[in-house]
Structure 1
Amino acid sequence: MTTYISQLKKRRSIYHIGTNVNLNEEELETLIQSAIKESPSAFNAQSSRAVILFGEAHTKLWNLVEKNLKPVTPTEAFPNTQTKLASFAAGKGTILFFEDVDVTTALQQQFALYADNFPLWAEQSTGIAQHSVWTALAEQQIGATIQHYNPLIDLDVQKEWDLPTNWRLTGQMPFGSIETPAGEKEYMADNLRFRTYK
């Protein structure tokens, strides 16, 4: 098994996270930035953006999510929602992933033949960036999940951290020490997923 595949196997959804990570905030920032910078994008667009939240900012995000979810969640289901959000807030930090829509629009104008494809390619870029960061964290024994409370929280996030309006939120990644490992991963049969022709 190659080292890279071994790292991919480490990347799991870890929901029980804490603050006892083996890297300091500066090292985490460098790791996250490097993973995103080395992630490929169509036409080398480099349209992925990220905001890294630690400390009070990290806690504030999950309070903000709770505030936005409360009016749209059935009363009887809200305690479970609060428990889930508290598990994310218990981590070391959160990464907010964005795509710069101005980059996509400019490419659509510059390469009209591919205009319809650029939004799809932007989605692929943000997915690759998220996966790269997730795997890089896993390599350091740091757990994470990817959450999607956008677009519900978009306006509040933009206002709270004074972010450009052309940054479109695509996902939130709470991360931290692995307090409870993921269970055994189940795989569907290969013959249902793959085909090879010669």
Structure 2
Amino acid sequence: METKFVELAKKRRSIYALGRDVKLSQDDLVALIKNSVKQGPSSFNNQTTRVAILFGDSHEELWDIVINRLKQEVPDADAFKRTEAKINGFKAAYGTVLFFTETKTVAKFEHDFPLYAANFQDWSEQSQGNAQYAVWTALAENGVGANLQHYNPLIDDDVRSTFDIPASWRLRAEMDFGSIEAPADDKDYMSDDERFLIFK
């Protein structure tokens, strides 16, 4: 039995200590991310996932948006210092992948396939998970660490205006990535008996 995929999946972890000593070129990273998203499955092959890839000043600007927006939500100065330190950790990474859902496509399939209309929102989220996992694992395979954040919808309007994002793209997640400066913590797993049912 082949277990290469399982071994690769084990490398995909939430890495929070990220830096900018990335060996791949930006062009290589863009190609890797594009191909990973394109190969991810989607319902009816409707390809609802969209992506923006940020490097350099654009990457830093994204995390400045997060800091400035959270400053409005965290009134306690000491608490905000901890929050700001956390966000600056993401900002210290090499780049960020923004994941969006194309809502016009979801609406079109709801209209065109009314029997399944109630499912297309859920299915678009499944496509998001597929794309995010594929990108994350592909980065890990190439020695690039990443973690996944969800500051949407707080930052949606600022992201849309700053990066000229189409109005129909709904932000779903932010994945910062970079060189691995410290490994992930140990991971605990729940009991297999609680998680799996086997019928033979």
- The TM-score normalised by the length of structure 1 is 0.98
- Residue 74 of structure 1 and its aligned partner are, at CA, apart by 3.2
Match runs of 1:11-160 below 5 Å = 11-75=12-76, 76-160=78-162
Residue identity opposite 1:6 in structure 2: E
The aligned amino acid for 2:102 is D
Structure 1 residue runs of 4+, over 2 Å off? none
In the TM superposition, residue 108 of structure 1 has moved relative to its aligned partner by 0.4
Q: What is the CA deviation profile of residues 41-96 of structure 1, one whole-angstrom value per residue up to 9, with x for unaligned ones?
A: 00001110000000000000000110100011132210011110110010110000
Q: Secondary structure at the match of 1:160?
A: helix
Q: Distance in 2 between matches of 1:104 and 1:17?
A: 35
Deviation at 1:2, TM superposition (A): 1.0
What whole-Å deviation, never above 9, does each CA across 1:125-153 have from its counterpart, x for those lacking one? 01110010000000011110000000000
What is the identity, as a one-letter code, of the residue corresponding to 2:103?
A: V
Moved more, 168-177 or 74-83: 74-83
Provide the rounded CA distance (Å) in 2 between the counterparts of 1:28 and 1:74. Answer: 38
For residue 145 of structure 1, what is the amino acid of its counterpart? N
Residue aligned with 1:9, SS: helix
Extract unaligned runs of 5+ from structure 2.
Answer: none
Cα distance between partner residues in 1 of 2:23 and 2:5: 21
* Aligned residue identity for 1:74: P
TM-score (norm 2): 0.98
Structure 2 residue identity aligned to 1:159: S
C-alpha separation between the residues in 2 aligned to 1:7 and 1:185?
15
Output one character per residue of 1:96-146: Cα deviation in whole Å (capped at 9) or x when no partner: 000000010000000000000000000110111001000000001111000
Q: How many residues align?
A: 198
Aligned to 1:186: 188
What's the CA shift for 1:197?
Answer: 1.0
Cα distance in 2, alignment partners of residues 84 and 156 from structure 1: 20
Q: CA RMSD in A?
A: 0.7
Q: Aligned residue for 2:178?
A: 176
Q: Which runs of 5+ in 1 are unaligned?
A: none
1:22–1:140 Cα contact (<8 Å) kept: no
What is the distance in 2 between the residues matched to 1:25 and 1:118? 34
* Partners of 1:147 and 1:172 within 8 A in 2: yes
